[in-house]
Amino acid sequence: MMLVLSSPSGAGKTTLSKRLIMHHPDVVLSVSATTRAARPGELDGEDYFFVSHEAFEKRIAEGGFFEHAKVFDQYYGTPIAPVEEALTEGRDVVFDIDWQGAQQLAEKAPRDVVRVFILPPSMKLLEDRLRKRGQDSEDIINGRMARAEAEVSHWEEYDYVIVNEDFSGALEELELILRAERLRRTRRPWLRGFVDELMSERD
């Protein structure tokens, strides 16, 4: 399963996805590449792979991304290799990407992708959270709020929507989505053999 999480910045998506993989060691988080600068505390290879514009464009040309998009004039993209490796090992992968990336992944792997949109309880709260980060200038915050509204306008393209009113409730809902989606018939190919055996029991 490819579990895609999108939300406007500040709605808690990154914390939710990190906590989800802490609780589920069988789920891996896709680490994106980006051309934006690292924020204080962010680690290369853990939060993102921080790369130059040149390196990013070279990788696009080589077909090294599952999807990529420009967000706030910076490139963001999902490297293919680790995702394919995890899926081949039978592990589910979580993606913290924007609506453009969600659309591209859904087109490429419609049967594997489950899309979840995280909404903040209010736009005011979102702005407060962005301010509390204290890392961005007023101009950047205004730009991010405009961008947040643009992101929210895509909410109907998602299979599930979580309103992140309180963190533990939102996490519980996300875990329920993971559990239910894992029970889908199409994700349990062993069922066919099981049913064949059931049917042959009376032969």
User: Under a CB-based contact definition with an 8 Å cutoff, are residues 92 and 26 in contact?
Assistant: yes
76 binds ligand 5GP per the rule CB under 6 A = yes
Query: Which residue bears the tokens 């990154």?
Result: 14
Total residues contacting ligand 5GP by CB under 6 A comes to 14
Residue 158 touches ligand 5GP, criterion: CB under 6 A? no
Amino acid identity of 74?
Answer: Q
Does position 36 interact with ligand 5GP (CB under 6 A)? The reply is: yes
For the bound state, the minimum distance from the C-beta of residue 195 to ligand 5GP, rounded and expressed in Å, comes to 39
Neighbours of 3 (CB within 10 A): 23
Cβ distance to ligand 5GP smaller for residue 143 or 187 = 143
Q: Is 96 in the site for ligand 5GP (CB under 6 A)?
A: yes
State which amino acid sits at residue 183.
L
Residues 94 and 20: beta-carbon distance below 8 Å: yes
Residue with Cβ nearer ligand 5GP (70 or 188)? 70
Closest approach, Cβ 159 to ligand 5GP, in A, equals 17
Q: Within 10 A of 188 (CB to CB), how many other CB atoms are there? A: 11
Told to check if 32 binds ligand 5GP by CB under 6 A, we report yes
Euclidean distance between CA atoms 108 and 92, whole angstroms: 16
